């Protein structure tokens, strides 16, 4: 039995849904994750947070709570170098809001902790809930506890405090790292979800209340940090000196364009890590090697997309994919992080997003020409020459063109250049003709 066959067999046996009625498939959890990530990619966060039709509310809350936990864990990881017991001796968000830790075991009374200690206890506390099958059931037919939504509200209220701390105490670091758009999008998603299911009371937003009350079109505008709070620009002198020393070349390592979504966040973080080590080309080659492996071994796609891989299976996947990227340590680290965060299924889209960042870094403009049948090289070259002369490519830019085949367009071409699309397909002409006939009738 091959490695892929063996791994696929073990994965199929180990997968269990979060919860659901007996009539539901064992893949309920996986399907909900797919739905969430698909709607997130659609660009509508308000739509992404809504309960899918026919799905169980508790399952939806459970799946998204795990995802937000992973997002917050990753975002806080970008500032841990600047969040120490000496630089952040209190878990606060401005001087007006300090959070004390309390649990039912070690800290039975509200206790002052440094920010990193507080967040460590918080993440462990949440993780304990995830691992408790009485709270987050792992077997079909086992119901969620009656107080499940109350537990979720408490988790969300406490997880939000990490956002508040990052914004109020480490905003300058986040900005210099180029992570502000990703932090903004993550918090915006978190707030929309919380409001949709009434998980956090308005008073608990504390120092960010004015920000989260903004209309949707102003929410987290990236044009100016003054919309945040006057205190957000304030960081300790220690942090300020550290930022100056460590990020003197921040502009050289920051991603050339902003990407959004979870896969975009991972791709941007990988780009920054590779740029710091002057290893962008090696990282790009490593990802290309992995992409070739994924294209050759089709079974990998199903394995990566399985969110319930055992720890042993994840280690096996990482080891198998890492063999061809030994010269790209940033890629090896990415694989380990994705495995730890149950995000291996995002690997193909992360590779695509990293390619987009590299194209922007090299001054390339990507154009996709869709045709009903493959275009020969001469015709594609003529199309490339015509597009290259367009005002939309821009001076000094290099055009990178690719041919995509879609028989459904029947004939003609569909040209996509950045956010512009020119549809010259036969199918669109037929649709317009049918519309005219319908209106005439």
Task: Report, as an integer, the average pLDDT of 41-54.
Answer: 71
Model confidence at 150: pLDDT above 90: yes
Strands lying side by side in the sheet with 412-417? 398-405, 364-371, 412-417, 420-425
Indicate the range of 225-239, 291-305, 348-362 predicted with least confidence: 225-239
CA distance 175 to 227: 14
With a cut of 50, say whether residue 236 has pLDDT above it.
no
What integer is the mean pLDDT of 167-172?
88
Block residue for tokens 């957000």? 232
pLDDT at 211: 75
Distance CA 402, CA 384 (A): 9
Give the pLDDT band (50/70/90) at residue 175.
confident
Task: Provide the pLDDT confidence category of residue 214 given band limits of 50, 70 and 90.
Answer: low
Give mean pLDDT, residues 382-411: 77
The stretch 384-407 carries a mean pLDDT of 75
Banded model confidence at residue 395, pLDDT cuts 50, 70, 90: low
Average pLDDT over residues 422-438: 79
pLDDT band, residue 418 (cuts 50/70/90)? low
Higher pLDDT among residues 1 and 338, named by residue: 338
Cα angle: 305, vertex 311, 313; to 5 degrees: 60
Domains detected in the chain: 16-247 (1.20.140.30), 275-358 (no CATH), 363-440 (3.40.30)
Of the ranges 28-42, 122-136, 202-216, 246-260, which one carries the lowest mean pLDDT score? 28-42
Where residue 70 falls among pLDDT bands split at 50, 70, 90?
confident
Percent of the chain with pLDDT over 90: 16
Contacts 24+ apart (CB under 8 A), 240-246: 240/172, 242/81, 242/82, 242/87, 243/82, 243/172, 243/173, 243/176, 246/81
**How many whole angstroms separate alpha carbon 307 and alpha carbon 80?**
27
- Tell me which of 263 and 301 has the higher pLDDT: 263
More confident residue, 279 or 2: 279
Summarize the confidence of residues 142-155 as an average pLDDT. 93
Distance (Å, rounded) from C-alpha 401 to C-alpha 343? 30
pLDDT classification of 3: cutoffs 50, 70, 90: very low
| Residue 15, pLDDT above cutoff 50 | no
Compute the mean pLDDT over every residue in the chain, rounded to the nearest whole number.
75
DSSP one-letter string for 246-267: HTTTHHHHS-SS---HHHHHHH
User: Which has more confidence, 136 or 320?
Assistant: 136
């Amino acid at each position: 039995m091959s490695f892929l066959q063996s791994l696929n067999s073990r994965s199929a046996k180990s997968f269990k849904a979060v919860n659901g009625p007996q009539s539901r498939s064992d893949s309920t959890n996986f399907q909900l994750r797919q739905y969430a990530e698909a709607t997130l990619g659609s660009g509508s966060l308000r739509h992404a947070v809504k309960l899918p039709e026919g799905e169980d509310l508790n399952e939806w809350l459970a799946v998204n709570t795990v995802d937000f936990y992973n997002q917050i864990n990753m975002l806080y990881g970008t500032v841990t170098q600047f969040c120490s017991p000496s630089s952040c001796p209190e878990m606060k968000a401005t001087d007006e809001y300090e959070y004390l830790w309390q649990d039912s075991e070690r800290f039975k009374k509200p206790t002052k902790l440094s920010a990193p200690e507080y967040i460590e206890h918080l993440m462990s506390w949440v993780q304990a809930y995830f691992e408790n099958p009485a709270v987050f059931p792992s077997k079909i037919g086992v119901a969620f506890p009656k107080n499940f939504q109350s537990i979720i509200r408490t988790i969300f209220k406490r997880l939000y405090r990490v956002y508040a701390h990052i914004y109020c105490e480490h905003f300058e670091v986040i900005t210099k790292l180029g992570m502000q758009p990703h932090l903004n999008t993550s918090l915006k998603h978190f707030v929309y979800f919380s409001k949709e299911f009434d998980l956090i009371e308005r008073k608990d937003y504390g120092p960010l209340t004015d920000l989260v009350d903004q209309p949707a079109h102003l929410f987290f505008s990236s044009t100016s940090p003054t919309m945040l709070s006057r205190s957000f620009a304030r960081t300790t002198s220690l942090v300020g000196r550290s930022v100056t020393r460590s990020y003197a070349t921040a502009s050289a390592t920051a991603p050339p364009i902003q990407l959004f979504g979870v896969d975009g966040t991972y791709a941007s973080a990988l780009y920054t890590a590779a740029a710091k080590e002057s290893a962008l080309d090696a990282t790009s080659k490593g990802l290309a090697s992995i992409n070739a492996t994924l294209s050759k071994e089709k079974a990998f796609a199903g394995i990566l997309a399985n969110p319930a891989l055992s720890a042993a299976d994840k280690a096996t996947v990482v080891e198998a994919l890492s063999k061809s990227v030994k010269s790209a340590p940033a890629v090896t680290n990415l694989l380990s992080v994705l495995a730890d965060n149950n995000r291996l299924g995002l690997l193909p889209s992360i590779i695509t997003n990293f390619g987009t960042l590299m194209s922007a870094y090299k001054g390339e403009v990507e154009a996709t020409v869709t045709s009903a049948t493959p275009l020969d090289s001469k015709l594609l070259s003529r199309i490339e020459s015509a597009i290259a002369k367009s005002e939309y490519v821009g001076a000094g830019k290099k055009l990178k063109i690719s041919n995509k085949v879609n028989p459904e367009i029947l004939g003609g071409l569909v040209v996509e250049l950045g956010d512009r699309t020119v549809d010259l397909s036969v199918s669109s002409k037929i649709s317009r003709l049918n519309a005219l006939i319908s209106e005439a009738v």
